[in-house]
A and B are shown apart, each in its own frame.
Chain A
Amino acid sequence: SYVLTQSPSVSVAPGKTARITCGGDNIGSHSVHWYQQKSGQAPVLIIYFDTDRPSGIPERFSGSNSGNTATLTISRVEAGDEADYYCQVWHRSSDYVFGPGTKVTVL
């Protein structure tokens, strides 16, 4: 089965940039999708197909994917960005696979 890895936590000051990584074997050959989940709420799609943003998602959220690492970047971090972030791929051996999640804390 395909496995994704994420750092458990990231801390960032308001106005700075947060980078959340998602690791997987040759993940660059897969499309990576990202979800934001605030406390007590359902997940929300924020990036799909590596770099695309659904309507309503701020441009401060961006994604990239190459080699063995995909990255979600949050620019000009705001207090409201504090949440858990999950990466996800679809893999033929495992169907939908989620990373373990990264907790973003805004200092």
Chain B
Amino acid sequence: EVQLLESGGGLVQPGGSLRLSCAGSGFTFSNYDMSWVRQAPGKGLEWVSGISSSGDKTFYADSVKGRFTLSRDNSNNRLDLQMNNLRAEDTAIYYCAKVPVNCGGDCYFNYWGQGTLVTVSS
């Protein structure tokens, strides 16, 4: 059974930093592209960042480019999102999401974690 378990959320002041992690199990982690998707309170879904299966390519939404860094450790089946210079508008539940293999450029998310809440407030 595929499982994605996020951790690292919490309360942080504006301008601060936080590191989110996602532990994957039940599948061969190193074979799959992964992403983070967030959802602000009462709002819709927003893709944040993605990484290729090998970790050699990373992609970011314009809203977080230059502030967030995504990496992965395939030997430990872990995905990490380093978030710096956090703003109030980054307040959201952050979901780790798995992309199916060979989705051919029209990709989607076939598994999601339960999410971790990040609150940016003074």
In the assembled complex, the Cα of A97 lies from the Cα of B110 at a distance in Å of: 15
Of B19-27, B69-77, B112-120, the one contacting chain A is B112-120
Chain A residues, Cβ within 8 Å of B46? 98
Asked whether B45 lies within 8 Å of A95 as measured between CB atoms, the reply is no
Q: Given A42-B95, A43-B112, does the pair A98, B106 have CB atoms closer than 8 Å?
A: no
**Per-residue interface assignment for chain A, residues 47 to 72, with 1 indicating a CB less than 8 Å from any chain B CB and 0 otherwise:** 01100001000000000000000000
Nearest residue in A to B59 (C-beta to C-beta)? Answer: A95
Question: Hey, what's the 0/1 contact readout for B88-109 against A, CB within 8 Å counting as 1?
Answer: 0000000100000000011111
CB closest chain-B residue, reference A89: B106
- Which partner residue on chain B sits nearest A45 by CB separation? B110
Q: Is B44 an interface residue (CB 8 A)?
A: yes
Residue in chain A with minimal CB distance to B111: A45
Who on chain B is nearest to A33 by CB?
B108
Number of B residues with CB within 8 Å of any CB on chain A: 21
Size category, A interface: 20 to 34
Q: Check if A48 sits within 8 Å of B59, measured CB to CB.
A: no
Query: Contacts A90-B105, A95-B59, A96-B107; is A44 near B47 (CB within 8 Å)?
Result: no
Taking the closest CB of chain B, its distance from the CB of A91, in whole angstroms, is 9
- B28-48 Cβ-contact flags toward A at 8 Å (1 or 0): 000000010100000011110
Q: Which residues of B contact A31 (CB under 8 A)?
A: 106, 108
Q: Give, as a whole number of angstroms, the nearest-CB distance from B98 to chain A.
A: 10
Please give, as numbers and ranges, the residues of chain B lying within 8 Å of A98 by CB-CB distance: 37, 44-47
Report B-chain residues with C-beta under 8 Å of the C-beta of A44. 112
